[in-house]
Amino acid sequence: MVTRPSLPKVLAQILFVGTQIVGKALVEAGRQAGRNARAGRVEAAAAAGGASGTGTGSPSDALTRSHRMTLDEAKMILNLKQDVSYATLVSGAAKAGANDEAKSLLDQVRENMVKNYDHLFKTNAPPAPKGKEGGGQGSFYIQSKIVRARERIEAEWSLGEQKGAPEGEAKPDSSASAEQPEQPKQ
């Protein structure tokens, strides 16, 4: 005669095995969290070393870390086709002719960027609150990405202008702040 195990005994076995499985998973998750924490400290120390000047990072790399956006990403967001790095613009125009041409090339690129920025900023405006007119069909997140892209490119240009100016005579970029529409508050 075949005897069947009783229901309480089966439930106790299922509970015991399930507890073992969950316990092993929790122990492994704790170990992984410890490994991640140690790795995070190492990465943070490396990033801090690069930001403090002890690393081999360039000033442009420091801008990328502080703005959390590369120059190429900013170009893509603002739909700019040409290279927007200050050094490339100035050296490319300097090869072609006088320093005035370098400034005019930079001004052309700046005008193109402002035109694209204004269009994208207005197009991606979030909807107006209920009962108010205006706004658009965009989102605040996309609009803030557009603002950050412009800030990243302008930071690169101001870095290039500071390098080009004699020490102590950094040129502030007053034209960009005068043309920039009101930014959304975060």
pTM for this model (two decimals): 0.53
Q: Are residues 53 and 82 in the same domain?
A: no
| Mean pLDDT computed over 140-167 | 81
pLDDT at 133: 77
Of the ranges 5-19, 32-46, 89-103, 127-141, which is most confident? 5-19
Q: Are residues 42 and 66 in the same domain?
A: no
For residues 141 and 53, is the Cβ–Cβ distance under 8 A?
Answer: no
pLDDT at 173: 46
Question: For the chain, how many structural domains are there in total?
Answer: 2
Where do we find the tokens 């690393």?
55
Q: Which residue has the higher pLDDT, 91 or 98?
A: 91
The token pair at 117 is 């920025």
Q: Are residues 94 and 26 in the same domain?
A: no
pLDDT at 10: 93
Residue at 48 is within a domain:
yes
| Residue 17's pLDDT band (cuts 50, 70, 90) | very high
- Which domain covers residue 99, as residue numbers? 59-179
Q: In DSSP terms, which residues pair with 127 in a beta bridge? A: 135
| Mean pLDDT computed over 151-178 | 63
105 pLDDT higher than 80? no
Distance between CA atoms of 105 and 24, rounded to whole angstroms?
64
Q: In DSSP terms, which residues pair with 135 in a beta bridge? A: 127
pLDDT at 54: 46
Q: C-alpha angle 54/60/178, rounded to 5°?
A: 130
Q: Are residues 63 and 144 in the same domain?
A: yes
| Residue 146's pLDDT band (cuts 50, 70, 90) | very high
